[in-house]
Amino acid sequence: MADDFRAILITKDDEGNQEVKDTRIAESDLMEGDVTVSVEATTVNYKDGLAITGKSPVVRRFPMVPGIDFAGTVEKSDHPDWKPGDKVILNGWGTGETHLGAYAEKSRIKGDWLVSLPDGLTTKDAMAIGTAGYTAMLSVLGLEDSGCKPADGPVVVTGATGGVGSVAVSILAKLGYEVIAVTGSPEERGAYLKGLGASTIIDRNELSEKGKPLGKERWAAGIDAVGSHTLANVLAQTRHGGTVTCCGLAQGFDLPTTVMPFILRGITLKGIDSVMAPRQLRERAWSRLATDLDKSKLESLTTEIGFDDLIPMARKIIENGIQGRVVATF
């Protein structure tokens, strides 16, 4: 077919068995939308790994092209805000879950889901940041909007070597915060985190088991991408009046805490939703990423891959985790 292009496709048979294959599809296979984008770069997030391995029911429509975010150039548009040649970013909105996603050379989506690529960033930069980095920026904005300032004291970041955590550490450090980074491999990954700007490295085992309802006040605020006992312990050790943002569930989706941090210390737990965030907030986050993320640090935490590597890397992020960020260019 003259209009076919490369794509990764997830299918499921009548017995519920999932298959993932590198194939080709046509523009006529794409879903409804008013903008068609030539995809130039994407990334591998934990959610993408779950979709490709089937470890969690991320995909809710079959067949599905996975991939929750991309950056590229508009090819066709019936949307008033976009024209051919515009450089755009997409994060979330159900792509890779209910709407055909980023792991294809073209995507047709709703123009309302897009934001402009900020000046100073390439499409490759944008996906080195990706949904993980964009979520990290939303988390930093959440702390700022709550009144958190560098002078208030240290900020703890859990899952610090992951995509969200790595970018959060880098942004916070550039903004002047003292950063406490939590990792499962302090000896192996301590140098990496110090290079991103972390002041202190602690072992995740200090926070991953059941703890006291209230502990010693250790930090002024926190960014958590882990959930479960880790988040409960972060809350229990946050200083009076502090804020903790929550954006992930790597340890679990449970939250075994009590009301004590909230009613005795006035702690705020702020949820971060990157999938359905309104466009104004998305644009604010991406604008800040273009100025507040050190490009040299971004390069140091990024691994570049090609289309052939997407499936293996998605499996790796589930099996062994990935340090930093991964950008795939087409």
Exposed / middle / buried, residue 171 (Cβ in 10 Å: 0-12, 13-18, 19+): buried
Cβ-count burial 46-84 (b if 16+ within 10 Å, e if not): bbbbbbbbbeeebbeeebbbbbbbbbbebbbbebeebee
Domain ranges of the chain: 4-117+298-329, 131-271
Please state, in angstroms and as integers, the Cα–Cα distance from residue 119 to each residue in 127, 155, 241, 286, 290, following that order.
Answer: 15, 29, 37, 10, 7
Written as one letter, the residue type at 137 is M
CATH of 131-271, one of 3.90.650.10, 3.60.21.10, 3.30.410.10, 3.40.50.720: 3.40.50.720
Please state, in angstroms and as integers, the Cα–Cα distance from residue 187 to each residue in 73, 163, 184, 203, 204, following that order.
Answer: 42, 19, 9, 9, 12
Can you name the CATH fold of 4-117+298-329?
Answer: Quinone Oxidoreductase; Chain A, domain 1 (3.90.180)
Same fold, 4-117+298-329 and 131-271: no
pLDDT by residue for the chain (330 residues), tens only, comes to 458 999 999 999 888 889 999 999 999 999 999 999 999 999 999 899 999 999 888 999 999 999 999 999 999 999 999 999 999 999 999 999 999 999 999 999 999 999 999 999 999 999 999 999 999 999 999 999 999 999 999 999 999 998 899 999 999 999 999 999 999 988 888 899 999 999 999 999 999 999 999 999 999 999 999 999 999 999 999 999 999 999 999 899 999 999 999 999 999 999 999 989 999 999 999 999 999 998 888 888 899 999 999 999 999 999 887 888 899 999
| Nearest-angstrom CA–CA distance, 33 and 296 | 36
Q: In this structure, what are the phi and psi dihedrals at residue 118, rounded to the nearest 5 degrees?
A: -65, 150
